């Protein structure tokens, strides 16, 4: 079902990493992380500014109560972009930050039981660091690594693209040795955007290609296809673009939960719209349920079975919207399990230009990753 948006609206431009304002013109940024309690009150707000261009793409909850930010950094104008990891303590203090010699941002990151992290970058690097950010190993495995998931034995499964645009999946062990890799040219030219391990020793992968705007594949432990489903091919859409897979996981019954952001253009439209889709599949890949929310900004499932999104104030409309506005305070909006607005929370003092990610924390509150344009 499609849920109508009841808040005030603006013309919204969207990007793959979050929501982007039309006022966004500068290419120098700070990283902003905000912790908000279950009642919507700001607990703390931390800004990371090393004097260069710092950009956050993904937020990870860490078992010690802290947060890990993945992104990129340019240390000075004209310098090369490098991958960035930033660790923030539970109280908001920046514990450490490190850059790594890649040429694209961190696009996916996972934590392991020993406190280490494995990250993938947009230029195909997969690397592991200790809990303090010290590099352990690094390998170039593909053209892009856009999804990473940990494995019980300490290894990791990664997904992205290779061979000029084939969807790609690979498994490495805890020392970085490549155990196997496979491409899937039959799917078309594209890339995998999300991956997770399955309880039967296999893997579940989601992505997009030129033939199928969205596909989900279940693989066995030998990377052979068990089933393959394609979506978003309704004739009323002249263009469909999968921007991001927010979460992909196996359910306790063996089914699949997939939360993603997709852009659509209807026939006759010049400007389309972005929506969030929560799709649940059975163990055999059959449709179980689909919920759509007219929200272009990052969304997270909440503990009560609903959803939450971060939105920003809009001085132009006298209210606030699910888009982004230049230098606007963050609001957390909660939705019930049908996608209908359950609560609009008071705005925080934190101001950002882009909301890149949102996570629910163990206390029922939220952590929001934002990017602020420097002046």
Instruction: Give me the chain's average pLDDT, please.
Output: 87
pLDDT in tens, 317-359: 445 455 555 567 888 889 999 888 887 766 677 778 889 999 9
Q: 2-373 falls under which CATH superfamily?
A: YVTN repeat-like/Quinoprotein amine dehydrogenase (2.130.10.10)
Nearest by Cα to 260 from 221, 226, 301: 301
pLDDT in tens, 115-127: 999 999 999 999 9
Q: Name the percent of the chain lying above pLDDT 90.
A: 65
Alpha-helix runs per DSSP H in 200-257? none
Domains of the chain, by residue range, sit at 2-373
Q: What's the CA angle centered on 71, arms 70 and 76, to 5 degrees?
A: 140
Instruction: Calculate mean pLDDT across residues 295-300.
Output: 88
pLDDT in tens, 240-296: 889 999 999 999 999 999 999 999 888 777 777 888 999 999 999 999 999 998 888
pLDDT at 13 over 60: no
- Residues 203/223, Cβ–Cβ less than 8 Å: yes
Instruction: Please give the Cα distance from 346 to 362 (Å, whole number).
Output: 20
pLDDT at 81 over 80: yes
Stated pTM of the model: 0.89
At 371, is the secondary structure helix, strand, or coil? strand
Nearest by Cα to 355 from 108, 57, 117, 75: 57
Report residue 281 as tokens. 């599949």
């Amino acid at each position: 079902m499609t849920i109508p948006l009841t808040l005030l609206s603006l013309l919204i431009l969207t990007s793959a990493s979050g929501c982007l304002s039309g006022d966004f013109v500068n290419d120098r940024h700070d990283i902003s992380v905000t912790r908000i309690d279950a009642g919507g009150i700001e607990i703390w707000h931390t800004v990371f500014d090393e004097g260069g261009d710092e950009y956050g793409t993904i937020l990870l909850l860490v078992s010690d109560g802290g947060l890990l930010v993945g992104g990129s950094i340019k240390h000075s104008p004209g310098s090369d972009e490098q991958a960035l990891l930033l660790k923030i303590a539970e109280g908001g203090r920046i514990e450490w930050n490190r850059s790594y010699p890649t040429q694209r941002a961190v696009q996916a990151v996972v934590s392991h039981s020993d406190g280490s992290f494995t990250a993938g970058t947009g230029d195909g690097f997969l690397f592991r660091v200790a809990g303090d950010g010290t590099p352990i190993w690094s390998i170039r495995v593909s053209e892009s690594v856009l999804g990473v998931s940990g494995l019980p034995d300490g290894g990791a499964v990664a997904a992205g693209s290779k061979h000029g645009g084939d969807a790609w999946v690979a498994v490495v062990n805890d020392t970085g040795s490549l155990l196997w890799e496979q491409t899937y040219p039959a799917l078309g030219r594209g890339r995998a955007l999300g991956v997770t391990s399955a309880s039967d020793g296999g893997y579940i992968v989601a992505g997009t290609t030129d033939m199928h705007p969205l596909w989900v594949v279940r693989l066995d432990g030998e990377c052979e296809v068990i089933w393959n489903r394609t979506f978003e091919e309704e004739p009323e859409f002249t263009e469909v673009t999968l921007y991001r897979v927010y979460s992909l996981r196996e359910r306790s019954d063996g089914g699949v939960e997939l939360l993603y952001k997709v852009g659509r253009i209807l026939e006759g439209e010049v400007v389309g719209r972005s929506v969030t889709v929560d799709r649940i599949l059975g163990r055999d890949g059959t449709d179980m349920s689909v919920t759509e929310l007219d929200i272009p900004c990052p969304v997270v499932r909440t503990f009560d079975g609903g959803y939450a999104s971060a939105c920003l104030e809009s001085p132009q409309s006298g209210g606030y919207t699910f888009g982004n506005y230049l230098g606007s305070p963050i609001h957390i909006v909660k939705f019930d399990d049908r996608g209908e607005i359950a609560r609009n929370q008071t705005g925080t003092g934190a101001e950002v230009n882009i909301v890149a990610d949102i996570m629910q924390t163990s206390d029922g509150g939220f952590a929001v990753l934002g990017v602020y344009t420097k002046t």
